[in-house]
Chains A and B, each alone.
Chain A
Amino acid sequence: MYLPPQLKFKHIAFGCILLVFLFSPFHNFVTHIAVFFSQQHIINQETALSRIEELRKQNIALMLKVRQGQFLQQENARLKQALRLQEEKKCTLIATRVIMFDLSMWRRIAIVNCGKRQGLREGLIAIDARGFLVGKIIEVQNNYSRLMLIDDPDFSMPVFIGNDTVGMLTGGLDGAKIMYIDNTEHIKERDKIWCKISYVGFPVYIGEVKATYTNRNALFWDIEVNLLSENPLLYDIFIIK
């Protein structure tokens, strides 16, 4: 069996010195190669990082475009719905948008971008795309109008619950209520609330009964209303002309 001769320490040392002498002329060359590859690596890393950042920005921009597209799609659907409503009910709707709010938090009044020039006048009512009541016009200027929303404390309107029970809808910052309905009337939760407008030939729905309260001594029901209109501050509003 062949066994390699045992290497002595002096041989190992000699070999190492020989290696150092052999490669010492190439020392700078090896260093240059190492630096070149490390720079390449760093440059690549920086390029990759900047590319990632660029892609991230592109991603955000695309996501915004998608959201914008979705919003436009929804808006388009709502406008189509309003057009269908206009054709079904044979009425004229004017699309408006909230441009400003009343500065006081104690009022629920919005300013919309249509006025006398668009044919608006005081007392017209505003609905959302699905036909639910949003509020009524209380002041008209040439290019803008003030719209009182249902939950304004000064809002009031005669309404019907169910088929023929009549009451008075009043707004309020704590929520709309219906007053002056005799507590002998049979009112139950989720009954539809609607109103008849003199110049409109169809019932305009407002919401449904949320809760009813009464006590032994009271003459009338206290009725809380669940309003069904979309948030008028986010979507288009339609004034029935």
Chain B
Amino acid sequence: MAQARQTTDVITGFDTPLLLSVLFLTGVGIVMIYSASSAIANNTYGNGYFFLRKQTIFSVIGGLVLFLSSMIPYRMYRAFAYILLAVSALLLVFTQIPGYGHAAGGAARWIRIGGFTFQPSEFARLSMIIYLAYSLSKKQERIREFSIGFLPHVIVMMLLAILIMIQPDFGSVVILGILCWIMMFMGGVPIKYLGGALLGLLPLAGLVMMSASYRVERLMSFLDPWKHQTDEGYQIVHSLMAFGSGGFWGKGLGNGHQKLFYLPEPHTDFIFSVIGEELGLWGVLLILTLFFVVIWRGIIIAMRTEDLFGSLLAAGLTIGISLQTCVNMGVAMGLLPTKGLTLPFLSYGGSSLLINMVAVGIIINIGKTRPHGRT
């Protein structure tokens, strides 16, 4: 019956607050990436504009991708849910094949396509959201059954998680896990299973944590970064200094100090710290407000959508972005242990930006697809 109504959709306009927030964030990202990276780019590539130029190209492509994905009727993805999963798994496997994969910092998380490197775990997250939205909406009648509403989703998630874990990228696995958990919770999977999974996963997560020495060190440094400020706590200490020395008004655009080789990855994982130092508290609160708008437009679109798949898809994509945002900010501010996660729209990085642009495009498409007779 729901199917019948949805065939006569009316196409309304773009969700303006969402679109403007995302575009504004991307613009701020370009400016801050330039400020954060020019010294490093100059040092490494002899060209201060290196990252600025690339990010500008990514942003233009990202804008196009956003526009295109907002044009594609979201229901089409239902048909591709499994194919996308398979492609994700394949791409993840590819990262481990020498010649295709691209390793950096001891982890093989990327594959090289042309001149660009692409991070399949980002794509896998998107595929997982589409799959869950499709599967959870399809199985609504028997969602409360363990073998139907819970087990298959967990198995698919675990498969992807294992593939990501090989890289290794513990941070992405945690994000994926939390994301699935929240989506299953929203989709109606009984709390008893979800709670049980949580209890069952805790020792497992602990085991994984302890299996790699750097993870333990990261956790220790998170608990007392000042004590470890010369080694494991180095990043976090310098990030905190960046925020603190920014004060209310900041040091002014371009005037930050921590990006000058003190703070590692100032243009990727710690772009928020550079914003904190150069733009101060008001800049940080502005960025928070923009993300707040993105989240709530996403949630509102999800809630307004009658179609369960669309609703869960919009919510899932929104939560994907929000999770990444909260974890990145939490790490930068010393609230969470260090994770190699980018800040959506702001951090330098093509695959992250493109995937998030696709996500926003899909949310916008869901938002403008209204069932007939409703506004």
**Physical interaction between A and B:** no
